[in-house]
Amino acid sequence: MPSRTKTTMFASAFFTCICSFVIICVVLATQHWMSSKVRFSGTNSSITVSLTYGLFSGTCEQFVDVGLQVSERTFQVADNLNNTKAKSMIIAIIVILVLSLLSSLLSSGFTCTNAVSNPYQTFLGPTGVYTWNSLCGIFILIAMILFPVNIEENGLSVELAYGCFSSLQTHITSEHTYGYSYWIMLLIIFLNITSIIIIYFYDHARYSKKKEQERPIENAPKDVILF
């Protein structure tokens, strides 16, 4: 059975890993990644399309300067995209987040295993926890970089607006606001770092104690040597 200290440390890391797993699920499931206001030129006035969307679905509504408002519509992100690059990047982000979800799940399993037992395999110990938490954090960071790139380089919001309302004409300007579904990914990275730090402190303390127990005899007290 593991020591009380080990159980406490790995149980704490397990809690942070589970929180990370839950938040990734929230990130994938919610559609508050981006809120955009996209302006287009019209025949007699400009038209503004307001969009709120995530990786899978979103809502859009159209406003005309004279005060006319078209009722809100829901849409599927993949179905509204004709731009192959934009669609491919959305799919890539989803795949990366699924990989981060699996990494977080494996990290949770490793920390739980170490909290209740002493695995013989090295990779099932702190090394495995370091690996899976690091991978999870890296995947999340990549997703956080790719999504703004898709917005700015591939005109994701503009493409979705055209998909919602086919009668739109020339694009004028866009305003983007990142939602909580995007920003809470920073919390996932923080939780992964916290898990690594917790296990590092445990591993470092265990290593120091082991070295202290293995001190060579020349470092022992003189009266012990004489005896």
- Kindly state the helix (H) or strand (E) to which residue 145 belongs, with its residue range: helix 126-153
Query: Residue 202: what pLDDT?
Result: 82
The alpha carbon torsion through 155, 161, 163, 166 (nearest 10 deg) reads -120
Please provide the size of the chain in residues.
227
Rounded mean pLDDT for each run of 10 residues along the chain, 227 residues in total: 79 93 95 92 81 93 73 87 90 96 93 81 80 95 96 91 85 92 96 92 71 58 48
